[in-house]
């Protein structure tokens, strides 16, 4: 990851270069981290946080359909499958 860029003369910052793949991997990792923490009294909150990340991935899938490279589309599909299955498994273990 690159260092943040200093403000331009207009006062706005130029965002660091970030690939779509890195962005969706970050979202999926956040969801999986929340799912792993979904135990005990705080399980519901962690699963809700994970669901939020999954919702963002689903939104990206819908809004970028037809505009991604084949690799990006395959990565997004695979990540969504993985986090959905992990979320369902965690949810089922909370509600036996």
Runs of H (alpha helix) within the chain: 20-36, 43-64, 70-94
> How buried is residue 50: exposed, middle or buried, by Cβ count under 10 Å (0-12/13-18/19+)?
buried
Task: Tell me which residue has tokens 């270069």.
Answer: 17
Q: What is the pLDDT of residues 50-60, one digit of tens each?
A: 999 999 999 99
Q: How far is Cα 24 from Cα 14, in angstroms, rounded to an integer?
A: 20
Q: What is the pLDDT of residues 11-51, one digit of tens each?
A: 677 767 889 999 999 999 999 999 999 988 889 999 999 99
């Amino acid at each position: 990851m690159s260092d943040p860029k200093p403000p331009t003369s207009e006062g706005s910052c130029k965002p660091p270069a970030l690939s779509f793949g890195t962005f969706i991997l970050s979202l999926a990792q956040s969801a999986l981290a929340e799912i792993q923490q979904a135990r005990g009294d705080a399980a519901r909150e962690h699963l809700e946080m994970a669901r939020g990340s999954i919702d963002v991935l689903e939104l990206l899938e819908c809004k970028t359909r037809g505009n991604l490279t084949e690799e990006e589309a395959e990565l997004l599909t695979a990540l969504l499958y993985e986090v959905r299955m992990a979320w369902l498994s965690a949810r089922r273990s909370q509600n036996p």
